[in-house]
Chains A and B, each alone.
Chain A
Amino acid sequence: MTLKKANLLVDSVKMLLVIVVALVLVTGIVFAVSSEPSNALYNFFIGPFLSLRRVGNIIEGACPLVFTALAVMIIFRAGQFSMISEGAFFMGAAIAMAVSIAVPMPTGIHAVACLLCAAAGGALVASIPAFLKKLWSVSEVVTSIMLNYVVQYFAIYLVTYHFREMQSSSLASLKLAETSLLPGILPGTNVHLGVIIAILMCVFCWFLIYRSRFGYQLRITGCNPSFAHYVGLKETGVMVGAQVIAGAIAGMGGSIELLGMYTRFKWTETPGYGWTGIVVALLAKDNPLMVPLAAAFIAYINTGANIMAMNSDVSSEMAQIIQGVIMLLIASGALLQRWRQKLIDKAAEQEQAAAAAEQVQA
């Protein structure tokens, strides 16, 4: 076994273990809180696959997570810890709403305009913590988290004072223009065109990170900023660029979620896709092509939890607890470390033996 294979094996088993432990925990928790645990578990695990509509729910649920996870991935890859994807996502949704309602346009073009404006809005929001850091070394962690609140209340202000549906008792915007909505692509579900865009976006991000000059500079900067500076790269420029691109992706995700799933803007607070995106990015292990799978897994848990909440006596808050557990497990870098070291020792030994044999032959 080579070193690469050993690492791959341990990583795969670790991921599997994380999932199994998480599911075992769900089972445990359900048994503790439910009077009909078998029914609850059946709904949780099997429920999401029982109808096309529910499978559709998984796909729809994964879609926004793909965008925020990609944004998180690019930001983290640049060595930055901006939490702005939450705010950029919400900003994107708010701007898409405004463009949809206020600017009439022909079908198709309208949606594209919404998406692009949302991307610009997300980029703008994400650039604020980035520039604050570039200019005055303000920690992007703090500013981005605070900015998320600013964005949230700005969006709610926009709805409340400019786009509110007066007939509605709860806070909701006017109806979005039909011309701007994203069409469904799978009859019998709400799966919309945005899912295709999400998958294309994953491919785009893979190319961006691994095959483009900017991605190369991004990886250098993220790995060692003083090295980037020394070889003549504008490392702060790369960091800002990464955050702007990430903001645009998250912002576009927000608009896609709104135009694909809703007819009105109804959020009264940020929906948390930015935070969940961190979990997805961690699960996908720095590989944009793995993001759809990771997002689908999280969406599966969310869907299962919803179905369980509907059909049994366990609440859907369970899903959030499970997410927390998964995050802890993924972050535990030392899990299975001994096994990994053993395999590595063995690999090294074999390699040495092979090299010795080669020498004898020569």
Chain B
Amino acid sequence: MPGTEILRMEHIRKVYSNGVVANSDITFAVNHGEIHALSGENGAGKTTLMKMLFGEEQPTRGDIYINGEKTVIASPTAAIRMGIGMVHQHFMLVPSLTVIENMILGMEPRKGLIIDQKLAERQVAEISEKYNLIVPPHAKVQDLTVGQKQKVEILKALLHGAKIMILDEPTAVLTPQETRELFHELKILRDSGYTIIFISHKLNEVRELCDRITIIRRGQTMGVYDVKDVDEEEISHLMVGRDVALHLEKKPAHQGEAAIEVEGLTVRNIIGQKKLDGISFRAMRGEVFGVAGVEGNGQTELVEALSRNMDFHGGSIRILGKDISGMSIRQLRAQKVSHIPEDRMTTGIAGALSITENAMADKSYNPEFCGKGTLLRKKNIKAYGQKMVERYHIFCKDLDVAISSLSGGNIQKVVLARELSSDPEVIIADQPTRGVDVGATEFIRKELLRLRDEGKCVFLVSSDLNELLGLADRLIVLCGGKIAAYFPDTTAITEDDVGQYMLGLDRQSEQEIAEVTK
């Protein structure tokens, strides 16, 4: 019945095996038929709480009630049986199977020993029509756009009988247009009696979509509010524990000489498809040069090519006047080029090593840390670690703990410390604030702007349009491996303008795009 409590998690505590207290004492309740926002900084414990609700982790202490009944959710299978569905941030789909095959996976309707294809098709068609979630049923998932994949995930949860849907930062990968579509669909679902838990720290989205909001900070509940009763400043204050500058003050840029010159760059993947198709641009010193685009349109390849993590197959790249095609990564780094990688967990850190060891990983040939022979200079290294922790506000118990025990934001600060402490001239920042809390995001953005003001070149790739428009001075949009648009002045445009080109709905003329090489 609408308005009654469908779910209650009471005094939840969760301690991970590395000693990290992810949830210290959280009480979280959701009413039937509402869209309830769960907000908090990264590392506040949102994901952990939801993992426990979906049976992926067990609470150390505390109880979970569903429809007023105390339950133990032992596994995701049990959660699904209880009517809980989850749409993960990273989709859990099999790329080589079709949409229908993905949706019925684990609950295939059978006819004797074989799958009843007709019935499966009918079930999927029914549910997708009912909630106006249209996806091509026979397409392979690998050929779908990110937005469509998300729809498949939502449909899958519905088909599996979910009454409570958890969406973990669903808009992080979407364009503004796709986000609007998603919100429309979610509102339809709510009005048909579904309950939705919406995890996000994008406050404007929470305002637009949600009925109530629960805010958590450092593993504790900070409060539950009707969204219409609180404003964004209040929410961000509760999340971070202090006032945050939501809008950055930016001085006018003083462009210097060219730092990155790319001409006709072409990159192919292993099966020969062009992931980058002859793109050219110039990024200058003293500016933040932004790259926008829906994920998978060539940004990753561009960054890999610029940072020498990948060879390119055509064109040329010059950084600080030098052709980089023959350089090793070590030589490129010696040219004072830094790189903040897209995925810090898989390429940005060595999880089992300490904070200090991670922060100086690129400096093992630096005589300050490694003497004439090959012995490490422990004292200097320790002092350096200490300095980094203070300078970059890394929150940790001590310097010798394994870096994997830190929260996402703190890990990113270690990455930042390493990359910025070598006094770089060019900084390639790929999704520098993805999955990072509000406080750390503010810090990282300020650092990037400081470097720009000092006359360095900051090359920024981000899927967060708000961030791009806030930081970048000039901006290109990649679509299908080509530059779809070039904006010489980011102050004059809105997120929607950029979204048009990201989705490939529009394309600037060759002359307009060619301006970027001037």
Contacts and interface: CB of A to CB of B under 8 A. Distances in A.
A137 to B, nearest CB: 14
B353 A233 contact: no
Contact of A223 (B307, B353, B370): B353
Contact of B351 (A3, A216, A224, A230): A224
Interface in B341-364: 341, 346-353, 357, 361-362, 364
Given A224-B349, A340-B17, A344-B19, A213 B376 contact: yes
A106 interface: no
A216 B376 contact: yes
Nearest to B329: A232
B19 A231 contact: no
B328 interface: yes
Interface in B150-184: none
Given A211-B375, A227-B361, A232 B349 contact: no
B309 A229 contact: yes
B15 A227 contact: no
B132 interface: no
A224 B344 CA distance: 12
Given A230-B329, A230-B347, A212 B21 contact: no
A219 B15 contact: no
B15 A348 contact: yes
Contacts of A213: 364-365, 370, 374-376
A22 to B, nearest CB: 26
Nearest to B13: A345
A268 interface: no
Given A348-B15, A352-B21, A230 B357 contact: no
B237 interface: no
B60 interface: yes
Contacts of B329: 229-232
Contact of B350 (A219, A232, A234, A347): A219
B333 interface: yes
Interface in B16-32: 17-21, 24
Given A230-B309, A232-B328, A345 B60 contact: yes
Contacts of A216: 357, 364, 370, 376
Interface residues of A, number: 29
Contacts, number: 90
Nearest to B304: A230
A320 interface: no
B353 A219 contact: yes
Contacts of B350: 219-220, 223-224, 227-228
A95 B347 CA distance: 43
Contacts of B393: none
A44 to B, nearest CB: 37
Interface string A213-241: 11011011001101111111110000000
Contacts of B352: 223
Nearest to A207: B375
Nearest to B333: A232
A39 interface: no
Interface string B458-488: 0000000000000000000000000000000
Contacts of A224: 346-347, 349-351
B339 interface: yes
Given A213-B376, A216-B376, A223-B351, A230 B15 contact: no
B387 interface: no
Contacts of A220: 350, 353, 357, 361
Contact of A232 (B17, B362, B376, B378): B362
8 contacts: A211-B376, A216-B370, A223-B351, A223-B352, A227-B348, A227-B361, A228-B361, A230-B339
